[in-house]
Amino acid sequence: MLMHNPPHPGEIIKELCLEPLGISVTEAAEALGVSRKTLSTILNGRAGISPEMAVRLSIAFDTSAESWLNQQSQYELWYAEQRRGELQVKKLVAA
């Protein structure tokens, strides 16, 4: 079942991981081994969580990589479903 309007995983990282720890974007990026720009684009919802980033987040925050990828997948699927009516697709049926 799809979640109703799920948050972008970047929001989760920002609100549930970084803010409670009082960690800046720069500090988090350094700890994750990525550039500040890379992390910032994720936090601001302009980029998604890649499998590699999911592994980095799982190590840094003692979570599972699967949970990060599932959040990303749910977010993308919800937004794709919102555009369902715009898709030009024909049903395929057996002859």
Is residue 68 within 8 Å of 9, Cβ to Cβ? Answer: yes
CATH code: domain 9-83 is: 1.10.260.40
Tokens of 29: 């990026």
Is residue 72 within 8 Å of 48, Cβ to Cβ? Answer: yes
pTM above 0.75, yes or no: yes
Maximum pairwise Cα distance, the chain: 62
CB atoms within 10 A of CB 21: 11
The domains of the chain are located at 9-83
Q: What Å distances lie between residue 44 and 39, 65, 91, CA to CA?
A: 9, 20, 37
Q: What is the mean pLDDT of each run of 10 residues along the chain (95 residues)?
A: 83 96 97 98 98 98 98 95 94 93
Tokens of 21: 């720890």
The burial class, CB within 10 Å (0-12 / 13-18 / 19+), for 9 is buried
pLDDT for the residue 33: 98
